[in-house]
Structure 1
Amino acid sequence: MFRILGGAAPVALALVLAGSTAAVADPDTEYSMDLSSASATVAAGHPTATLISFEAEPYLDNTRVTLSATGLPSGVTARFIPPTPRLSGHSVLLLTTSPSTPAGPASITITAITISSDPIGTSAAFGLTVTGG
């Protein structure tokens, strides 16, 4: 996996898409979210999945995050299993297309936000290409 920790601007969010791995690190969040794959191609009417992993400072390990996906094409649903993982754990992103989902590429943003009185978040891009059923 590729990760960026730090950078020239401490408040900048860094995103790296390299090979089949997407990784994000914001030096102010003290945790990162890694996708096992940065993209997928799926036939309309079929599902695809990718593993979401987190790395966090030890004091954040038991903190839970809510996950969301934006930019979904028509007919695509996103489900996270579990929907509120701990930062010391994993979640599976399951994208399910319908037979009527239009063919073509889409850029989906996966966002994690801590469940706390002072929420912090990070996000990663996921490319989905839907082909004819």
Structure 2
Amino acid sequence: MKILIIDNTGQISASLAEVEAEFDCLANEIQAFNILERLRPELVFLRYALRGEQTPDYIRLVANALPAASVIVVGEQTSEEGVLQCLLSGAKGFQELQDLRYYSFRLVQAVSRGEAWVSRRVVASLLDSVRQLMLENSYLKVH
């Protein structure tokens, strides 16, 4: 498996030390995007702090450039709304940085099988968001 890590601190790569994979690590998200198609990673770990509130926009760019890659956002005390926006933009999961070391192996396995990696609470919020979008769309069609 090929993994691209986009992180300017080195903390994500240190947390993934037990995962057996081919790693490319870049500190600059613009450079990473520019070589994304050449690297063709299956999994992209993205540090939320690099783009902050612009992270969902970056995820959409990555998803459009390389639809087969799964993006996992790694954050520190990221708001639930921030996590939801990342997931709605195409991320396949979110993990708090302080717990990444403990979950890294299972996270990589789950996402490799096509599963999402999010907490149950985030899944509930995501379902509420989808339901709200559906209600808004059905309201627009009726009126």
Fold match (TM-score > 0.5): no
The structure in which a higher percent of residues are strand is 1
Higher relative contact order (CA 8 A, sep 6+): 1
The structure in which a higher percent of residues are helix is 2
TM-score where L is the length of structure 2: 0.27
